[in-house]
Amino acid sequence: MQKVVNNAYEAIKGIGDNMTLMLGGFGLCGIPENTINALFESGIKGLTCISNNAGVDDWGLGLLLRKHQIKKMIASYVGENKEFERQLLSGELEVELIPQGTLAERIRAGGAGIPAFYVPAGYGTEVQGDKEVREFNGKMHLLEKALTADFAVVKAWKGDTKGNLIYRNTASNFNNMMAAAGRITIAEVEILVPAGELDPNQVHTQGIFVKRIFQGTDYKKRIEFATTIS
């Protein structure tokens, strides 16, 4: 199977309005910058985006929010994005906030084919809602359902032409588990090498999960905000 495509624009072919996307990253660390920019330029709308957070106002998923391309965000932290806050409070954006560990496990479960699981986080809070509740070992737990997506978009440091991926340090974050939970997984990498050049012992995501891969360019590697001590 030929997995290598030339760029992000080729990689997003097939993504259409009203689809569900998973996008890796934590803050702005390890986000698929090139693919997000291609989605921004494509004008695709009505998206449900599953991501730890929604970027900042002028970068990452904040770009898609600015053009109202996202109708629903499923995330765990959204505190660095004023446009997100505005759209939420005005009712323009549907939001499902999930405790971070629960979000990670719902994605992992989706990739593993586990339909649902019980977790204590959120019991007795707004997170509980109308979810099924059961007691285990004297503690109340909520039934949480697995998450999957039409497309998962991940960013890796290095990959090969078969789709095997290596993440660098904390840029692994949500990327690895999302790669297994998308029906079609797109990987953008900083370095693309021929198959066989990666040490199998260092591979984090196996190529069987990746359908499309390309080498990205012009990475900004921004941070949300800088703190200086004078």
- Does 228 fall in a domain? no
pLDDT in tens, 99-133: 999 999 999 999 999 999 999 999 999 999 999 99
pTM of the model: 0.93
* Cβ atoms of 46 and 71 closer than 8 Å: yes
Instruction: Output DSSP code: residue 56.
Output: B
Rounded distance between C-alpha atoms, residue 113 and residue 107, angstroms? 10
pLDDT in tens, 38-92: 999 999 999 999 999 998 888 999 999 999 999 999 999 887 788 998 999 999 9
Most confident range (mean pLDDT) of 27-31, 102-106, 221-225 is: 102-106
Instruction: Over range 211-225, report the average pLDDT.
Output: 86
Mean pLDDT of the chain: 95
pLDDT of residue 32: 97
Cα angle 47-52-58, degrees, rounded to a multiple of 5: 70
> What's 12's domain CATH number?
3.40.1080.10
pLDDT of residue 221: 74
- Does 176 fall in a domain? yes
Residue 228 CA: distances (Å) to CA of 16, 80, 223, 225: 42, 18, 13, 10
pLDDT of residue 220: 79
What's the number of domains the chain is made of? 1
- Does 152 fall in a domain? yes
* Cβ atoms of 52 and 76 closer than 8 Å: yes
- Does 202 fall in a domain? yes
- Does 227 fall in a domain? no
pLDDT of residue 123: 96
Show the domain range for 183. Answer: 8-215
Burial of 226 (0-12, 13-18, 19+ CB in 10 A): exposed
Instruction: Over range 31-44, report the average pLDDT.
Output: 96
Confidence tier at 27 by pLDDT (50, 70, 90): confident
- Does 2 fall in a domain? no
- Does 36 fall in a domain? yes
Rounded distance between C-alpha atoms, residue 4 and residue 214, angstroms? 6
Residue (of 17, 36, 13) closest to 25 by Cα position: 36
- Token output for 143: 């039934």
Confidence tier at 29 by pLDDT (50, 70, 90): very high
Residue 126 CA: distances (Å) to CA of 74, 75, 121, 225: 15, 15, 11, 30
